[in-house]
Amino acid sequence: MPELPEVETVRRGLLPAMEHRRIDLAEVNRPDLRWPLPPRMAERLTGARVEWLGRRSKYILADLSTAETLIIHLGMSGRMLVSGEVPGVFVRDHQPVAKHDHVVLTMEGGARVTFNDARRFGAMDLVATSGAADHWLLKGLGPEPFDNAFHEDFLAARLARRAAPIKAMLLDQRIIAGLGNIYVCEALHRAGIDPRRPAGNLTAAEIARLVPVIRRVLDEAIEAGGSSLRDHRQASGELGYFQHSFRAYGREGEPCRTEGCTGHVTRVVQSGRSTFFCPDCQR
């Protein structure tokens, strides 16, 4: 499933085609994705202007001139692809509507934004902008990793006396929003912290080291266009390439990339998910 860097990469790719532009025509080609689509969705979107295009955790948010917000979740295989002419960015010919093109937005100026989702694990909803933060998909999310509210004192307080593994705590969206399996593995490797350690056992120095490492990993991944392992593509259709910079994730049996370490990356399963780490330098 796309994590924060992949969703942020898609959001940035959509900005020139969508933000401050009117949706001239919205076409909804099926009644549901993971869940039923909102009633009269095409009618409610057509003619609306996108005032702001943002992101919360792994969700793209489009605030509309109609005082509604379109919430978009890419799910496992969802893609938001832009075609047509986007001034100063690119010109890409429109393709015929394909089988899994479930929502198509023709934007002011001629660009087309297509939501394609072969497995239909994605989702869209329309909610009053004034109440968007209380939507059930967004309510209860922790701070964003780049927000001032996420700092070492905050994290230390949330981890205190917790027996759960540190990896599980970082995956908890109520503690920090947007992190997933890939970037937690990468951050813990760079911070030299064993993902199996009880979260409450981390020292103040380790927590202070972990916070900026999380931000740095996410920053680098966003600049690289995210990680394309299966379905992720940027809004331009291009692949991300951060997977070529992985130091832990997916590298089972390979030499550790930490300078001076002679260990090898190991894989274990935690809560049904693969965890990649180096037992020699992650303590």
Q: What is the mean pLDDT of the segment spanning 68-80?
A: 92
| CA distance to 56, 73, 131, 134, per residue, from 137 (Å) | 10, 9, 12, 8
Q: What is the mean pLDDT of the segment spanning 115-119?
A: 92
255 is catalytic: no
Question: Among residues 2, 5, 16, 165, which one is catalytic?
Answer: 2
- Give 4-54 pLDDT, tens digit per residue: 988 998 999 899 999 999 999 999 999 999 999 999 999 999 999 999 999
| Better-predicted residue by pLDDT, 92 or 210 | 210
pLDDT confidence tier of residue 243, bands split at 50, 70 and 90: low
Question: Among residues 58, 112, 247, 251, which one is catalytic?
Answer: 58
User: What is the spatial distance between Cα 264 and Cα 262, in angstroms, rounded to a whole number?
Assistant: 7
| Better-predicted residue by pLDDT, 225 or 82 | 82
Please give the mean pLDDT across all residues of the chain.
91
254: left (phi over 0), alpha (psi -120 to 50) or beta: beta
Q: What is the mean pLDDT of the segment spanning 126-155?
A: 97
58 is catalytic: yes
2 is catalytic: yes
Q: What percent of the chain has pLDDT over 70?
A: 91
pLDDT at 218 over 90: yes
pLDDT confidence tier of residue 93, bands split at 50, 70 and 90: low
- Give 166-200 pLDDT, tens digit per residue: 999 999 999 999 999 999 999 999 999 999 999 99
The domains located in the chain, with CATH, are 4-134 (3.20.190.10), 152-277 (1.10.8.50)
Residue 167 belongs to what H/E stretch? Answer: helix 166-171
Question: φ, ψ for residue 251 (rounded to 5)?
Answer: -110, 30
Read off the tokens for 179. Answer: 């992190």
CB 247 within 8 A of CB 255: no
DSSP secondary structure letter of residue 32: B
